[in-house]
Structure 1
């Protein structure tokens, strides 16, 4: 099907699937469509057009995406929608297959396709509307995507196939974007990219993340800056210096290690070793004593033996990381690891994942208990009952980390910072009252 943009489309809804980088892409698109006088509605039943921003990273995500697109296609088939548009990573990677399988999708676009989407929905669109965002997050925090693409060749990862080479966004544009977000009430900026620590190499030949952090830290009214998606190899030491010196840079870093077995790391093409990872942890903790370190790991990678897994388990025990996520391996066609097959049974993968998460749960419980009796600065995210709120400390990223349940007899607006005395701890949650 194809849609004539003159067909009286006045409203649209957007369904964003996948990672926080997709959230940012959708926010820019919403602002441009609204700038072309289309009405943005969250309820799909009220929309003339539905736009689905897809994820094509791993098999479970692709399956979920296809199911949701099929459900939307049924709405289009029954004329409950005037236009259905699919774009993003899945569409970039599998455009031909999607066109064959989904005849009731009007348009399938890949990445960086905002202009095409505008032309599909608006007659004579104003294409020059750039730089504005309509936040999909709560108004007090926002993601800042500092780059796109990736130059690493990790054997399990399809991102370079989908997004291409690393492209940094110029610092001047990022600073203006952050300043604009702060004027709209944003208190916390979460820096994201496929690899934030690679920032600037394509622009200047040198890593420029520390310089960018310093410039963002100078923005008046920006209270928290959080660093996500660092890469172990080449982690710039000057980032730690800036983090230690600047009060509004969260003492927090997310570094996906993925594994620690030398054999697995080599096959994964992670460009690092367990010894280097352990040295990095020591360096980070020495430079920023208050730091919380988050990491993710993959279990069930082809060739992962019981000894490899035991080594990873022992590392989790010894490293005492603050936040951990564990994923089971998904074989992705086109990646260097795909020819290795996927021989480890799913139940073994799940058992290994659960084992690591149980280990980390006990570590998290111990760390949280140590916070009982202390007072912490907490950013309130939402109100959950008459006198109960949910917030986060500087050591917790939105959606993926721990939460703090805050009791207060006085009303608190989301986006407010409060001091909370902790009086109870669970594995992943803290409880306290405003002091």
Structure 2
């Protein structure tokens, strides 16, 4: 984390949750450093602990609460002076949390950046809106192209947490991207709650392809698209991926399910047949594309037959990357009124069954890469081993390419050519071509 000279008390920032939270923390850090705030990576050297919480799923909520309790413990033993909490969980449970944890010195939601800055001795400056102090490795970053969500998926509380959909203007995003590029960013990952409808609120039409083209023109090595909603997805972006060498042949499109009844109850706005046609069209336009998706198992009322339909769909579609979560009741999500009919044990069993199926698919797809030469980005080096990614792998969630580097000079943030020699379901093993 970046630090700054000054006499103010040191702050330890713990940023939890998704990449969108990461961007929020990076904006906060840049603003605070401009005011002379000192940050430390060592909590034992901090006078202030600031936690940016996640409130999306049960495990993330539990992690946020555990970290709050640990911070309170630091305060009670006298090793820190103040503890502040911000972010998604505060939006959902501010009153309940403040009642249960009076030791916390301040609570701030997702839209209270000036207030949290003031609490740690900084001030918000509008002219610094585009500035970020990266919490990722310096060679890649996330570009949040919009805030909030207008969808009403029954399992999701994001609209309450983040508010209505608000696209960031293209010119502002280009300025922010230019600043990131000057910081050394080579891979730009476009993120939002829903990138598919980017621009409708500002320009009356989809602007995702226009934005992608203009970012491509800036000369980034890789541009990646994450978190696309299947309904209203602008297919011209898929053609751009095929035509532009620096736009990764990769799309993260969470589908959640395939059964029509479940999709209607989820309020997804798209059914089985439309979903299959969309996937077929995407792959037809760009045969080189790799698709990542996410599924939910154990949604209220999901029968064994409906889950079997999901299994059959995954088996037939052969997604390149897939994650699955057990359904959990969210108090502020529309599905909270439904009877949670599937037991936790059965939910976990279905998740395991689906992921076992996907593991076999992933292993088969990775075996096809053995013997090929691929361009990879070196993410980190540990002793004599480099961990890298292909254009088909997003940071933090997808496959690693593991390379024994020997006496070769390799640096983090480099692009290298690698021959794939072996593979597992979630790893590739390669050697540098210039060995």
Same fold flag (TM > 0.5): yes
* SS of residue matched to 2:196: helix
Where structure 1 has 5 or more consecutive residues not aligned to the other structure, the ranges are: 1-7
Alpha-carbon distance change, 120 to 419 in structure 1, aligned in 2, over 3 angstroms? same
Alpha-carbon distance between aligned partners in 1 of 2:351 and 2:120, rounded to the nearest angstrom = 44
1:270: how far off? 0.7
Q: Kindly indicate whether the alpha-carbon contact (under 8 Å) linking 1:189 and 1:226 is maintained by their aligned counterparts in 2.
A: yes
Alpha-carbon distance between aligned partners in 2 of 1:18 and 1:133, rounded to the nearest angstrom = 18
* SS of residue matched to 2:431: strand
Aligned residue in 2 for 1:360? 358
* SS of residue matched to 1:353: helix
Kindly report which structure 2 residues correspond to 1:234-249, keeping only aligned pairs within 5 A, or say none.
Answer: 234-249=232-247
Alpha-carbon distance between aligned partners in 2 of 1:199 and 1:284, rounded to the nearest angstrom = 19
* SS of residue matched to 1:191: strand
Q: Kindly indicate whether the alpha-carbon contact (under 8 Å) linking 1:9 and 1:48 is maintained by their aligned counterparts in 2.
A: no
Kindly report which structure 2 residues correspond to 1:212-227, keeping only aligned pairs within 5 A, or say none.
Answer: 212-220=211-219, 222-227=220-225
Where structure 2 has 5 or more consecutive residues not aligned to the other structure, the ranges are: 1-6
1:139: how far off? 0.6
Aligned residue in 2 for 1:161? 160
- Which stretch shows the higher mean deviation, 8-17 or 331-340? 8-17
Aligned residue in 2 for 1:268? 266
Tell me which of 288, 311, 314 is aligned to 1:313: 311
Alpha-carbon distance between aligned partners in 2 of 1:352 and 1:130, rounded to the nearest angstrom = 44
1:128: how far off? 5.1
Alpha-carbon distance between aligned partners in 2 of 1:108 and 1:333, rounded to the nearest angstrom = 20
* SS of residue matched to 1:337: helix
Alpha-carbon distance between aligned partners in 1 of 2:383 and 2:140, rounded to the nearest angstrom = 22
Alignment length, in residue pairs?
426
**Structure 1 position 391 matched with structure 2 position 391:** no
Alpha-carbon distance change, 285 to 29 in structure 1, aligned in 2, over 3 angstroms? same
Aligned residue in 2 for 1:255? 253
Which TM-score applies when normalising by structure 1? 0.96
**1:126-148, Cα deviation, whole Å (9 max, x unpaired):** 67543211100001000000001
Alpha-carbon distance between aligned partners in 1 of 2:180 and 2:335, rounded to the nearest angstrom = 40
1:231: how far off? 0.4
Aligned residue in 1 for 2:190? 191
- Which stretch shows the higher mean deviation, 49-58 or 406-415? 406-415
Q: Kindly indicate whether the alpha-carbon contact (under 8 Å) linking 1:91 and 1:109 is maintained by their aligned counterparts in 2.
A: yes
Alpha-carbon distance between aligned partners in 2 of 1:128 and 1:315, rounded to the nearest angstrom = 49
Alpha-carbon distance change, 22 to 346 in structure 1, aligned in 2, over 3 angstroms? same
1:124: how far off? 6.8
Alpha-carbon distance between aligned partners in 2 of 1:425 and 1:129, rounded to the nearest angstrom = 45
Q: Kindly indicate whether the alpha-carbon contact (under 8 Å) linking 2:379 and 2:389 is maintained by their aligned counterparts in 1.
A: yes
Q: Kindly indicate whether the alpha-carbon contact (under 8 Å) linking 2:370 and 2:420 is maintained by their aligned counterparts in 1.
A: yes
Aligned residue in 2 for 1:173? 172
1:9: how far off? 4.1
1:183: how far off? 1.1
Alpha-carbon distance between aligned partners in 2 of 1:19 and 1:124, rounded to the nearest angstrom = 25
Aligned residue in 1 for 2:375? 377
1:14: how far off? 0.6
Alpha-carbon distance between aligned partners in 2 of 1:224 and 1:434, rounded to the nearest angstrom = 20
